Amino acid sequence: MRIVVLVKPVPDTASGGERLRPADWRLDRTAVPAVVNANDEYALEAALKLTETHGGEVVLVSMAGPEAPDTMRKALAMGAASGTLLTDDALGGSDTLSTARVLAGLLKDMEYDLVLAGADTSDGGAGVVPAGVATLLGLPYLSYAAKIEPDPAAGTVRVNRISPTGYEVLEAPMPALVVATQALGEPRYPSLKGIMAARSKTLETKPLGDVSVGDEPVGGAAAT
218 located within any domain: no
Domain that holds residue 146: 2-212
Q: How confident is the model at residue 202 (pLDDT cuts 50, 70, 90)?
A: very high
Taking 90 as the threshold, does the pLDDT of residue 24 lie above it?
Answer: no
Percent above pLDDT 90 for the chain? 63
217 located within any domain: no
223 located within any domain: no
24 located within any domain: yes
Average the pLDDT over 41-60 and give the result: 97
Per-residue confidence (pLDDT) for residue 213, from 0 to 100: 83
Percent above pLDDT 70 for the chain? 87
Higher pLDDT, 219 or 189: 189
Per-residue confidence (pLDDT) for residue 94, from 0 to 100: 80
Phi, psi of 213 (to 5 degrees): -115, 10
Across 11-25, 142-156, 173-187, least confident range: 11-25
79 located within any domain: yes
For residue 173, what is the enclosing H or E element? strand 166-173
Taking 80 as the threshold, does the pLDDT of residue 224 lie above it?
Answer: no
What total number of domains does the chain contain? 1
Per-residue confidence (pLDDT) for residue 220, from 0 to 100: 66
Residues forming a β-bridge with 34:
11
- Work out the mean pLDDT of the chain and round it to a whole number: 88
30 located within any domain: yes
Smallest Cα–Cα separation from 107: which of 64, 142, 75, 139? 139
Q: Which amino acid is at 4?
A: V
Per-residue confidence (pLDDT) for residue 92, from 0 to 100: 80
Taking 70 as the threshold, does the pLDDT of residue 215 lie above it?
Answer: yes
45 located within any domain: yes
Average the pLDDT over 219-223 and give the result: 66
For residue 47, what is the enclosing H or E element? helix 38-54
What CATH number does residue 136 fall under?
A: 3.40.50.620
Per-residue confidence (pLDDT) for residue 68, from 0 to 100: 84
Q: Where are the alpha helices (DSSP H) in 65-95?
A: 68-78
Average the pLDDT over 36-41 and give the result: 90
Average the pLDDT over 141-165 and give the result: 96
Q: Which one-letter DSSP state was computed for residue 72?
A: H
Q: Is the dihedral of CA 156, 160, 136, 52 positive or negative?
A: negative
Per-residue confidence (pLDDT) for residue 127, from 0 to 100: 79
Q: How confident is the model at residue 59 (pLDDT cuts 50, 70, 90)?
A: very high
Per-residue confidence (pLDDT) for residue 123, from 0 to 100: 66
Question: What is the tens place of the pLDDT at every residue in 116-148?
Answer: 999 877 666 677 999 999 999 999 999 999 999
Per-residue confidence (pLDDT) for residue 181, from 0 to 100: 94
